[in-house]
Structures are given as structure tokens and as C-alpha cells.
């Protein structure tokens, strides 16, 4: 092989072969304020980003993420849509699990609701229920 051939092959490998990434799909009830390009974080270190959203017939959202392929993520890891207190931009945070089995390219996981989201959901249901009862009482008084 000539020097030019070796150089060309090296450059092509650097451009196309060394950027290992793995696609992980996240199934969610909703995407919230998550945006394309939002970071995927592990221990507050960016390891990937949101690449696509697809609304399924069921109404759920399938979120495609591309992650650094060199990082091992156990299958029992928890994926959450979250923000930092001082920054309202939403991102996906991974709480790394302890399983020995790892996620692989094109696996699908579920997005877990944060405690705050679950609390807000319960409060809204209670508010709605109380509001409905109040409306009924006011209608009966008329």
C-alpha cells in the first residue's frame, strides 16, 4: 500500500468508524418540554442527546436517543425527564442500575416520572375532583 492509501483509509476510519454510538429508545406517556437535542446525562455528564420523537397510535411518545457507545448502562437503570433547579431546560437523567446485563443498541426502556411529576399529577386530579364536587353543589343550590 502506498502512503496515500494508508492516509486515506485512516481518515475515513476516523470520520466514520470511530464514532461509536448506540441508539436507545425511551417510551413515555408524554415528552413534556423535552426538545430535540436535549442532553442525556449520567451523573450530570452528557453522554448523548435526544434525536427524534415519534407519537405512537397508543398516544405514547417514543423518544430516540443516541448515546456514547463506550458507556455501559445496566438494563435496570432508570431514565427520567428532569431539570436542574437553576436551569429550566429539560433533559434525560439516567440513574445507573446495578444489573450485570447491559442495554444494547436499539433497546427500549420506559421513562419514569419524577417524584415532582407524580405529585403534580395527584394534586391536579384532587383539584379536578374537588372542583367538580363544588360545581355540583352550586348547581344543586340553584
Tens-of-pLDDT digits for all 142 residues of the chain? 676 666 666 655 555 555 589 999 999 998 888 999 999 999 989 999 999 999 999 999 999 999 999 999 999 999 999 888 778 889 999 999 999 999 999 999 999 876 555 566 567 666 666 667 767 777 776 6
Domain boundaries defined on the chain: 20-130
Closest CA to 61 of 90, 32, 36, 37: 32
Closest CA to 76 of 61, 62, 57, 95: 95
Amino acid at each position: 500500500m502506498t502512503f496515500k492509501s494508508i492516509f486515506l483509509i485512516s481518515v475515513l476510519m476516523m470520520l466514520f468508524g470511530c464514532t461509536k454510538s448506540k441508539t436507545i429508545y425511551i417510551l413515555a406517556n408524554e415528552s413534556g418540554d423535552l426538545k430535540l437535542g436535549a442532553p442525556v446525562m449520567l451523573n450530570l455528564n452528557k453522554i448523548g442527546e435526544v434525536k427524534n420523537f415519534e407519537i405512537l397510535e397508543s398516544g405514547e411518545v417514543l423518544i430516540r436517543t443516541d448515546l456514547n457507545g463506550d458507556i455501559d448502562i445496566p438494563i435496570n437503570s432508570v431514565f427520567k425527564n428532569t431539570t436542574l433547579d437553576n436551569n429550566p431546560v429539560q433533559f434525560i437523567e439516567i440513574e445507573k442500575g446495578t444489573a450485570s446485563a447491559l442495554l444494547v443498541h436499539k433497546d427500549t426502556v420506559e421513562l419514569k416520572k419524577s417524584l415532582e411529576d407524580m405529585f403534580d399529577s395527584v394534586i391536579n386530579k384532587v383539584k379536578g375532583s374537588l372542583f367538580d364536587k363544588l360545581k355540583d353543589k352550586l348547581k344543586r343550590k340553584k
